[in-house]
């Protein structure tokens, strides 16, 4: 057990909350950042759903990725930082700057404050989007941690922001880190049990299917359970083998969305009665993307092989993730159980 203090940025985020759960269960004290203290009760309630009443072992500080104010207080006396706060796909961001500037500058603000406060290591939550998009069809698969997304191709703003912000973090460590250690975790589509109505954009795919969207996109991805993503963050935080490394958080081979739909129908029967059985044509998606920003971002991923491997984390850190089927089923079961679907 330990009494070390760990900062987890973006405390209202899905992955961040599971990181807090993992840390609190392991005996750490946790400080987390929020943009408004009005969300403290919400975060605490979500953690209770996850099985932890944090009490005085959890504290909050107000910060924003676009402002230096608050970051020195956030990292003060912290042994480690798990930094996952970043713009995520909401449909509101239509310009690349809306994604890239807060992601890049936010990373640099956190790293600078952590270095100045004497933090031992920062674990950065990056994404598969920094590894496996923009590549030509004949590029080798599966993707691994040596790969970086090719921004010369048609890459959506979200993936571009994750690539540029992670590169900026590594450049900072090399030039200005002064002994601060960095490890990056690159999750693929994150599923697993939700704690409430605020969850990952990946789980919105499951929600939309269960709510009866008319078809599946012709898109595939690997997946991982959020509990295993948090476990990997915890391992990467203290294991000497993780210093200066990137780790893909993924298990098994990539799945097409129609395969996910078939899994839901098989596992949940009539509760998944609205799940689509057809695949939208690529042309339908392209036409819809002309007026729908979210679908426009999907167009470059149509028929694109996103297979990736998580063997490095398994080999170096002893990581042992749940199956992709369990991750997907856990997400659906929790959405049903918590009444988060359209009736």
- The sheet carrying 80-83 orders its strands as 58-62, 29-34, 5-8, 80-83, 121-125, 181-187, 246-249
Q: How many CB atoms lie within 10 A of CB 167?
A: 17
Largest CA distance in the chain: 58
- Between the CA of residue 252 and those of 84, 188, 266, what are the distances in Å? 24, 11, 19
- Annotate 117-158 with DSSP letters as a single string: HT-SEEEEE--GGGTSSS--TTS-SSB-TT----TTS---HH
> Residue 121: phi, psi to the nearest 5?
-150, 140
Q: Which of 162, 243, 271, 274 is catalytic?
A: 162
Residue 160 among the catalytic residues: no
Whole-angstrom distance, CA of residue 128 vs CA of residue 247: 10
Structure tokens belonging to residue 5: 């203090």
Going by C-alpha positions, the residue among 51, 30, 26 that lies closest to residue 40 is: 30
Structure tokens belonging to residue 308: 């990736």
Radius of gyration of the chain (CA): 19
Q: Active-site positions?
A: 162
């Amino acid at each position: 057990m330990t009494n070390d203090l760990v900062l987890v940025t973006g405390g209202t985020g899905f992955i961040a909350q599971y990181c807090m759960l993992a840390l609190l269960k392991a005996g750490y004290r946790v400080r987390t950042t929020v943009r408004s203290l009005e969300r403290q009760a919400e975060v605490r309630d979500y953690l209770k759903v996850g099985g932890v009443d944090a009490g005085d072992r959890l504290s909050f500080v107000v910060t924003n990725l676009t402002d230096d104010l608050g970051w020195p207080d956030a990292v003060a006396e912290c042994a480690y930082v798990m930094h996952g706060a970043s713009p995520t796909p909401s449909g509101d961001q239509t310009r690349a700057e809306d994604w890239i500037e807060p992601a890049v500058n936010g990373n640099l603000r956190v790293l600078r404050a952590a270095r100045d406060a004497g933090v031992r290591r920062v674990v950065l939550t990056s994404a598969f989007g920094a590894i496996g998009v923009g590549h030509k069809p004949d590029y080798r698969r599966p993707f691994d941690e040596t790969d970086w997304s090719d921004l010369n191709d048609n890459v959506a703003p979200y993936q571009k922001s994750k690539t540029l912000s992670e590169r900026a973090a590594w450049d900072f460590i090399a030039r200005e880190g002064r002994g601060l250690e960095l490890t990056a975790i690159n999750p693929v589509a994150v599923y697993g049990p939700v704690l409430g109505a605020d969850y990952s954009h990946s789980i919105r795919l499951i929600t939309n299917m269960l709510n009866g969207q008319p078809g599946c996109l012709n898109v595939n991805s690997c997946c991982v359970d959020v509990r295993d993503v948090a476990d990997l963050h915890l391992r990467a935080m203290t294991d000497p083998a993780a210093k200066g490394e990137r780790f893909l958080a993924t298990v098994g081979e990539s799945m097409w969305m129609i395969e996910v739909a078939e899994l839901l129908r098989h596992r949940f029967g009539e509760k998944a009665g609205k799940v689509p059985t057809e695949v939208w044509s690529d042309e339908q998606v392209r036409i819809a993307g002309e007026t729908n920003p979210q679908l426009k971002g999907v167009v470059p991923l149509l028929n694109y092989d996103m297979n990736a491997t998580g063997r490095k984390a398994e080999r170096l850190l002893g990581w042992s993730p749940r199956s992709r089927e369990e991750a997907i089923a856990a997400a659906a079961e929790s959405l049903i159980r918590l009444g988060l679907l359209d009736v």
